[in-house]
Amino acid sequence: MRSLSGVRVPRIVWLGGAAVGVGVAVELTRSFWAFARWYWGQTRHQRHEEGGLRELVRRQGPPPVPLWGNSRLLLRRGYYRTLHRYCMERPVGVFWVGRSPFVVVSDERLVQRVLASAAYVKPRYFGYRSRAMKMALEVHRASERVRVLTEGKRQADAEDNAANPTRRALIALMEQSTPDMVAASMQLLGELERAPLSPEGDFATVQAHYVRLNCWILFRMRLPAAEALRIGRAISGAGDEFSLRMVTPYRGWFHGLANLRYFAHIVAILRFGRRLAAQLDRTAGTWVHAWVGRVGRIGKLGKVLGLLMAATQTVPVAAIWMLHLVSTHDRVRQRLQEEIRECMERDRETRSADGSVDDTAANASDLSANPAGQLLLLTAAQLRHLPYADAVIRESLRLYPPFPILQRQAVADDQLGEVFIPAGQVVSVVPWVMHHHPAYWRDVECFEPERFLGDDHDRHGDAPSDYCYVPFARGQRMCAGSSLALAELKVLLVCAVLRWGEWASVQPDTGRELFRGGDVNGTAESVHFPPLSMKPLGIGLRPRHPHRDEKRLADGDTRR
C-alpha cells in the first residue's frame, strides 16, 4: 500500500497506473517522433517555398492529434465522408492513423503511377507478396529508373491478355460454370422470397450463397447451407474488424471482446482454408491450380485464403447494391427487361432455325413443367450479348465499389505531386474516392448505366481514363477473378429480372419499401456515404408481386 494525500492506494492500483502512464508516455514520444520525421522529410523535399510547417500540414490534410492522428475523425465523421472532404481538393491527401501516415492518392495520373508502375508493389501479405517486393527491388536497382507502363494499349494488354494461359483458363471455367451459376441464382432468389426479413437485411443469406457457389466453382467442394452461413459470418466479421483496425490503431487495446471474436473468426477461416488447400491437392489442372502456382505449404494456404476472402466478401456486397439500385430505378429495370427479352427471343429463333431445338412449342412445354426452364437454358454466349446489363453492373460497382482500399508500397524514394514518399511507405488508392470525383465524372452521384455504353466506355465509362475507374484495381496486381465476378453478377441480374419482373428494396423491420424511383438519396446531387465495410446492411430484396410473378413464369411469359 502507498499513501496518496492520506488515502491508502493498493500496490496493484499504483503499479497498474504507473504502467499505463509509461505506456502513454512511450506512445506519445513515438507519435511525436513519427510526425517530426515525416514533416522533416517533407520540408527537405518541399517544392513550394511559401508558408511554414503549419501551412505544409494544412496543404497535406487534416492536422494530426498526438496518439490518435486522424483516427477519431475517420471513424466518427465517417471514413468516406472524411476522404471526400479532403481528397477532392488535393491530388494526394495525408491522414494519420495513430502514428502512421495514411497517404491517399486521388489524381488519375498519380493513381496510374501507383497501380501500374514498377515504382510501387503490393505490400507483404500472407508471405507470397514478399517475393514480388524483392523482384521489384531488383528491377528498380538494375534499371535505376522507374518504368512506368504507358497508358492505353500496353496496359490493356497486360490486363486482358487473351494469350495469358491463366486468364484463358478462367474464361473456360466461367463458361463451363454458367449452368451452376444460373441454378444457384434461381435458388437464391427463391430463398429470398421465403426468408423472413431480419434487421440486418439480406446480406448473410446472399453471402452464404456466394460462399457455396464459389467453393463449388473454384474448388469443387460442396458445402451444406449451414456451414456456408457460418463461414460467411466468420469472413464478414473478420473483414469488418480488419477495416476498423485499419483506421483505429488502438482498438485492440480497449476491446477485449472484439479481440476474442476476431481471433475466433481467424481460426475458423484458417481451418477452412486448410480444408480448401487439401481439396486442391485432390484435384488437378484447374484455373485455381494455375493461379496458385508452385508454392510451399504456407504459401498455398495464403493464396487459398486470399482467393476465398477475395471471392466471397466482394461479390455479395456488389450483388445487393446492384439489385437495390435496379429495384429503385424503374427506367433502368425496363430497359434491362427489354434487352434480355430481345436477346432470348433472338437466340430462340436462331436455335429453332438451325434445328438445335425442335420448336418454340417444345421449349414452352419445357417451361411449364419447370418454371426455371428458360433461365436454365441461358448460355455463356447469350450472356455475352447484353451490353446494357454489363453497363448496369459497372455503374453499380462505380457507386459502391466493394474494396475499401488498394495499397501499394514505394520501392524507393518518390515524389507524388507535392508529397515526398520515402521508400517503404504504403500509398493507398480508394476506389470509392476515384469513382465519386467530380473532376472525372459527369453527374457523379447519379445512377446512370448509359455512361458505360459506347466505344471504350466499358473500361472507364465517361471518365477520361482507366485509372478513374478501379473497382478491380489496375495493373499487374489487379483482381485475378474479375471476369468470374462480372459473370456471377450478370447471371444474378438476369435471373432477378426474369424471375421477379419487378422487385423492391424493403426495410426489414417495417417491411416498407426503402426507395422507389429517383435516386438513392432522393436527390440527384446529395452524396450517399456508405459504411466503411461498404456492406449493404438493412437492405432486403423481395418481389413486389410474388404470386403474379410465379404465375407469369409458369405461363412461360418472361416479359414484365
In this structure, the strands spanning 2-4 and 7-9 are: antiparallel
Q: Are 70 and 61 in contact (CB under 8 A)?
A: yes
Closest CB to ligand HEM among residues 86, 219? 219
Rounded to whole angstroms, the Cα distance separating 500 from 502 reads 5
Give the nearest distance from C-beta 122 to ligand HEM in angstroms.
Answer: 6
Nearer to ligand HEM, 301 or 311 (CB): 311
Nearer to ligand HEM, 117 or 314 (CB): 314
Q: Residue 553, SS3? A: helix
Q: Where are any strands of DSSP class E within 86-235?
A: 92-97, 100-105, 120-121
* Nearest approach, Cβ of residue 554 and ligand HEM (Å): 33
Work out which of 87, 119, 221, 307 binds ligand HEM, going by CB under 6 A: 307
| Closer by beta carbon to ligand HEM, 390 or else 549 | 390
Nearer to ligand HEM, 197 or 238 (CB): 238
- Closer to ligand HEM by CB, 198 or 407: give it: 407
519 grid coordinates: 435516386
Tell whether residue 471 is a contact of ligand HEM (CB under 6 A): yes
# of chain residues touching ligand HEM (CB under 6 A): 21
Instruction: Give the integer Cα–Cα distance in Å for 349 and 39.
Output: 69
Interactions with ligand HEM, residue window 474-503 (CB under 6 A): 477-481, 484-485
Does 469 interact with ligand HEM (rule: CB under 6 A)? no
The full DSSP string for 275-343 is HHHHHHHHS-SSHHHHHH-S--HHHHHHHHHHHHHHHHHHHHHHHHHHHHHHHT-HHHHHHHHHHHHHH
Near ligand HEM in 394-413, by CB under 6 A: 402-403, 406-407
Binding mask 246-285 for ligand HEM (x = CB under 6 A): ----------------------------------------
Which residue, 94 or 308, is less far from ligand HEM as judged by CB?
Answer: 308
351 binds ligand HEM (CB under 6 A): no
SS3 504: strand
**Residue 184 makes contact with ligand HEM by CB under 6 A:** no
Please give the backbone phi and psi of residue 456, each rounded to the nearest 5 degrees, phi first.
65, -5
C-alpha cell read off for 129: 507478396
* Smallest separation, CB 85 to ligand HEM (Å): 23
Cα 76 to chain center, whole Å? Answer: 22
Q: How far apart are the first and last CA of the chain?
A: 80
> What's the gap between Cα 141 and its chain centre?
33
Q: Quick check: 511 and 541 in contact, CB under 8 A?
A: no
The grid cell for 206 is 446472399
For the segment 309-348, give every residue that binds ligand HEM (CB under 6 A): 310-311, 314-315, 318
Minimum CB separation of residue 314 from ligand HEM in Å reads: 3
Query: Do the Cβ atoms of 532 and 80 come closer than 8 Å?
Result: yes
Give the cell for residue 524.
440527384
Contacts with ligand HEM by CB under 6 A lie at 306-307, 310-311, 314-315, 318, 402-403, 406-407, 471-473, 477-481, 484-485
**Which residues participate in the annotated binding site for heme?**
479
